[in-house]
């Protein structure tokens, strides 16, 4: 019995060191001396990040929600985050030729303020990690627009060793825009479809993500081997 | 009531200016009601997170700065109701309130902990300090000229035709102040603080949802009341709302006009620019009255 417990502890320690292996130095537990000379332990993964699970915020009053959804749809703030070759299709949207400002589509440079993330093309495993972190840092309600064939079934990278094939295994996608690459017009049409969906109250991706959190996390961790961040990134 | 008008006029003015900038770039631009939609969306966001007490207080301080200026600024000359709480020394108080919001925002954004906001604050405060110099000199100059620190009395002294405006009677102070206005409104040559459309958005990087909503509300109020301050000091004030709207629009338009013509300065260029010609004009404007 005692031997078993010792083995268990060994296994646990091994698992921990396996997880710690990927941690950056600044994220490891350490002793810090404060300005007043008091020593205290800092565990960045616990102290600097919040590991609270996401919660669902169900829409409440139907009429109010309809009005709010209209406002949300007409004010889409797109995160300036390019993942694949499709990221080059986004800047022309704000040029005189396509002028997405007409439709209430605006760029934001920070995930905190944006409501739409455009997965613009293939996602390598490395980028997937960043995309997940970014998606989780956005404030709900948030929407995902997946651009290009690579996000649907892998496209021309379907058998690549380090790109994922379907984005909606890892985050809830609201709208797909097919093509390789879709032109900016197609992306604009995608934004307008997304607006329709939001107005109908069907774009509840953030809630879906919170409800199916375990499933999404399992999928993500299956792909990302060096998972060195908290499970939920605020 | 006054605040309601000022807020909505600020939103409409902001949208109009963005439309003007868009037309200059051969775009159609945002619909004129976009700022209201953005505001509704921001306030209606379902989640928001905090980085601490000061993070909460930052936007509150900023809004306090904007509303503080509004409270002590006479909007309409001759109207007891729209003179708000203006009193004998309100000019000094308003200059103080301008810095108050900046400092609160600096503390709040600092607690957000994002490197971009720290860079934004550093840029913002250093630029604002140099912007204040010519403005303060211009204010001292007109305080010496009219022998008062009350905005109401300064406006009263300018009544009776545009030949009595400070613009005509004290052109040097007006010039110094109009240069510093470019920095106050932070349009194109001096918009490195927020650097829109670039990766760092400056101080509000971490602000989102209702926090950003409060900041946006304050932005709309602040633009109008600062334009109104300049209107009162240099352009004879306003006796009715139509005059108020026309004059604040033109004053704001001045900064946008410069903005669409000139490209963005780097921060050290902006700081040295304010310390050269505008400061020299400001010093000259004060020396004349000593």
Same domain, A178 and A75: yes
Q: Quote the number of domains for chain B.
A: 1
The whole-angstrom separation of Cα B235 and Cα B84 is: 20
Tell me, what's the pLDDT at B39? 94
CA nearest to A80, candidates A102, A105, A104: A105
* pLDDT tens figures, B149-170: 888 889 889 988 888 898 888 9
Structure confidence at residue A20 as a pLDDT band (50, 70, 90): low
Tokens of B34: 């976009």
**Three-state DSSP state, B169:** helix
Whether residue A53 lies inside any domain: the answer is no
CA nearest to A214, candidates A56, A53, A45, A58: A53
Q: Has this prediction a pTM greater than 0.95?
A: no
For the cut 70, the answer to whether the pLDDT of residue A19 exceeds it is no
Same domain, A140 and A89: yes
Record: contact B209-A104, CB cut-off 8 A? no
How many distinct helices (H) and strands (E) make up chain B? 12, 0
Structure confidence at residue B11 as a pLDDT band (50, 70, 90): very high
Same domain, A29 and A66: no
Structure confidence at residue A11 as a pLDDT band (50, 70, 90): very low
Mean pLDDT for the stretch of residues A107-117: 89
Record: contact A68-B197, CB cut-off 8 A? no
Q: Quote the number of domains for chain A.
A: 2
For the cut 70, the answer to whether the pLDDT of residue A167 exceeds it is yes
The domain that contains A129 carries what CATH number? 3.40.50.12280
Mean pLDDT for the stretch of residues B71-97: 83
How many CB atoms within 10 Å of residue B94?
A: 23
Residue A176 C-alpha, separation from nearest chain B C-alpha, in angstroms: 24
Residues of B in contact with A108 (CB under 8 A): 201
Residues of B in contact with A188 (CB under 8 A): none
Which residue in the block uniquely carries the two structure tokens 């409104």? B185
Residue A81 C-alpha, separation from nearest chain B C-alpha, in angstroms: 10
Tell me, what's the pLDDT at A34? 79
The whole-angstrom separation of Cα A102 and Cα A191 is: 12
Tell me, what's the pLDDT at B263? 86
Tell me, what's the pLDDT at A1? 44
Which residue in the block uniquely carries the two structure tokens 């739409």? A116
Are the C-beta atoms of residues B289 and B144 closer than 8 Å to each other?
A: yes
Tokens of A25: 């130095």
Residues of B in contact with A204 (CB under 8 A): none
Are the C-beta atoms of residues A128 and A170 closer than 8 Å to each other?
A: yes
Q: Give the whole-number percent of chain A exceeding pLDDT 90.
A: 41
Any alpha helices (H) in chain A, and if so which ranges?
A: 2-21, 44-47, 62-74, 125-137, 149-153, 184-199, 205-211, 213-223
Mean pLDDT for the stretch of residues B8-35: 92
Per the model's pLDDT, the better-predicted residue between B285 and B80 turns out to be B285
Residues of A in contact with B22 (CB under 8 A): 99, 101
* pLDDT tens figures, B182-238: 988 888 788 888 766 555 677 888 888 899 999 999 989 999 999 999 999 999 888
Same domain, A104 and A34: no
Mean pLDDT for the stretch of residues A149-163: 90
For the cut 50, the answer to whether the pLDDT of residue B85 exceeds it is yes
Tell me, what's the pLDDT at B106? 85
Residues of B in contact with A141 (CB under 8 A): 45-46
Same domain, A109 and A137: yes
Whether residue A190 lies inside any domain: the answer is yes
Same domain, A74 and A97: yes
Record: contact B41-A115, CB cut-off 8 A? yes
Contacts of B155 (CB under 8 A, 6+ apart): B74, B77, B232, B236, B237
Residue A155 C-alpha, separation from nearest chain B C-alpha, in angstroms: 30
Structure confidence at residue A216 as a pLDDT band (50, 70, 90): very high
CA nearest to B170, candidates B134, B144, B151, B133: B144
Our measurement of the distance from residue A221's CA atom to the centroid of its chain's CA atoms, rounded to an integer in Å, reads 14
Residues of A in contact with B206 (CB under 8 A): 110, 112
Tell me, what's the pLDDT at B161? 83
DSSP string, B14-28: HHHHHHHHHHHTT--
Tell me, what's the pLDDT at B77? 86
Record: contact B30-A115, CB cut-off 8 A? no
* pLDDT tens figures, B48-79: 888 888 888 888 998 998 898 898 888 888 88
Are the C-beta atoms of residues A194 and A76 closer than 8 Å to each other?
A: yes
Same domain, A90 and A203: yes
Same domain, A81 and A136: yes
Same domain, A208 and A176: yes
Whether residue A39 lies inside any domain: the answer is yes
Same domain, A18 and A125: no
User: Could you give the count of Cα atoms lying within 13 Å of A153 in the half-sphere of its Cβ?
Assistant: 5
3-state secondary structure B227-259: HHHHHHHHCCCCCCHHHHHHHHHHHHHHHHHHH
Interface test with A, best of B22, B28, B46 (most A CBs within 10 A): B46
Q: Which domain holds residue A176?
A: 62-223
Mean pLDDT for the stretch of residues A146-152: 91
Record: contact B201-A102, CB cut-off 8 A? no
**In B, what residues contact A, Cβ < 8 A?**
22, 25-31, 34, 37-38, 40-41, 44-49, 114, 116, 197-201, 204-209, 212
**Three-state DSSP state, B218:** helix
The whole-angstrom separation of Cα B177 and Cα B139 is: 8
Tell me, what's the pLDDT at A151? 92
Distance (Å) of CA B202 to CA A136, B69, B123: 22, 24, 9
Decide: residue B156, CB within 10 A, 0-12 exposed, 13-18 middle, 19+ buried. Answer: middle
Beta bridge partners of A124: A163
For residue B38, the chain A residue with the least C-alpha distance is: A75
Residue A74 C-alpha, separation from nearest chain B C-alpha, in angstroms: 7
Tell me, what's the pLDDT at B204? 84
Per the model's pLDDT, the better-predicted residue between A211 and A57 turns out to be A211
CA nearest to A54, candidates A208, A228, A229: A208
Structure confidence at residue A6 as a pLDDT band (50, 70, 90): very low
Backbone phi, psi, residue B79, to 5°: -105, 120
Q: Between the ranges A124-128, B46-50, B92-96, where is the mean pLDDT highest?
A: A124-128
Whether residue A148 lies inside any domain: the answer is yes
Mean pLDDT for the stretch of residues A151-156: 90
Whether residue A231 lies inside any domain: the answer is no
Q: Which domain holds residue B17?
A: 2-289
For the cut 50, the answer to whether the pLDDT of residue B277 exceeds it is yes
The whole-angstrom separation of Cα B247 and Cα B241 is: 10
Q: At what angle do helices B115-146 and B171-185 cross, to 10 degrees?
A: 160
Same domain, A80 and A43: no
Q: Between the ranges A2-6, B85-89, B131-135, where is the mean pLDDT highest?
A: B131-135
Check if A101 contacts B (Cβ < 8 Å): yes
Average pLDDT, rounded, for chain B: 88
CA nearest to B28, candidates A99, A95, A185, A187: A99
Check if A52 contacts B (Cβ < 8 Å): no
Are the C-beta atoms of residues A90 and A185 closer than 8 Å to each other?
A: no
Same domain, A23 and A68: no
The whole-angstrom separation of Cα B110 and Cα A48 is: 16
Tell me, what's the pLDDT at B198? 58
For the cut 70, the answer to whether the pLDDT of residue B240 exceeds it is yes
């Amino acid at each position: 019995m005692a031997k078993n417990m010792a083995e268990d502890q060994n296994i646990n320690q091994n698992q921990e060191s396996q997880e710690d292996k990927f941690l950056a130095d600044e994220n490891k537990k350490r002793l810090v001396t404060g300005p007043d000379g008091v020593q205290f332990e800092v565990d960045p993964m616990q102290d600097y990040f919040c590991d609270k699970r996401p919660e669902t915020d169900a829409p409440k009053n139907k009429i109010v929600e309809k009005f709010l959804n209209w406002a949300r749809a007409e004010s889409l703030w797109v995160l300036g985050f390019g993942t694949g070759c499709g990221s080059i299709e986004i800047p022309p949207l704000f040029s005189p030729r396509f002028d997405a400002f007409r439709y209430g589509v605006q760029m934001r440079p920070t995930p905190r303020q944006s409501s739409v993330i455009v997965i613009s093309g293939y996602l390598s495993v490395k980028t997937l990690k960043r995309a997940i972190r970014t998606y989780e840092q956005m404030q709900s309600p948030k929407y995902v627009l997946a651009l290009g064939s690579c996000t649907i079934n892998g496209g021309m990278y379907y058998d690549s060793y380090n790109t994922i094939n379907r984005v909606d295994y890892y985050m809830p996608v609201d709208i797909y825009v097919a093509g390789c690459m879709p032109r900016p017009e197609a992306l604009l049409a995608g934004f307008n479809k997304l607006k329709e969906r939001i107005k109908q109250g069907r774009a509840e991706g953030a809630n879906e993500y919170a409800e199916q959190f375990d499933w999404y996390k399992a999928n993500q961790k299956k792909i990302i081997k060096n998972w060195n961040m908290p499970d939920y990134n605020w | 009531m006054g605040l309601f008008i000022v807020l909505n006029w600020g939103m409409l003015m902001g949208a109009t200016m963005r439309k003007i900038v868009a037309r200059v770039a051969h775009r159609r631009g945002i619909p004129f009601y976009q700022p209201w939609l953005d505001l509704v969306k921001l306030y209606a966001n379902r989640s928001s997170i905090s980085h601490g007490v000061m993070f909460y207080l930052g936007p509150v301080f900023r809004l306090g700065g904007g509303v503080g200026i509004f409270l002590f600024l006479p909007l309409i000359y001759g109207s007891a109701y729209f003179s708000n709480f203006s009193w004998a020394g309100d000019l000094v108080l308003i200059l103080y309130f301008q810095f108050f919001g900046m400092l609160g925002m600096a503390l709040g954004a600092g607690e957000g902990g994002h490197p971009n906001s720290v860079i934004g604050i550093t840029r913002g405060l250093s630029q604002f300090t140099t912007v204040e110099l010519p403005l303060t000199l211009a204010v001292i100059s007109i305080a010496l000229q009219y022998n008062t620190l009350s905005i109401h009395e300064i406006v009263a002294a300018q009544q009776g035709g545009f030949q009595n405006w400070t613009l005509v009677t004290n052109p040097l102070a007006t010039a110094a102040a109009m240069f510093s206005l470019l920095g106050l409104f932070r349009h194109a040559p001096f918009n490195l603080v927020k650097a829109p459309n670039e990766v760092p958005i400056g101080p509000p990087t971490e602000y989102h949802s209702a926090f950003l909503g409060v900041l946006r509300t304050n932005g709309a109020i602040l633009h109008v009341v600062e334009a109104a301050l300049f209107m009162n000091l240099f352009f004879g004030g306003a006796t009715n709302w139509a005059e108020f709207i026309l004059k604040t629009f033109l004053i704001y338009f001045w900064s946008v006009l410069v903005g669409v013509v000139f490209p963005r300065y780097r921060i050290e260029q902006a700081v040295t620019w304010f310390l050269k010609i505008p400061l020299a004009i400001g010093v000259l404007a004060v020396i004349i009255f000593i």
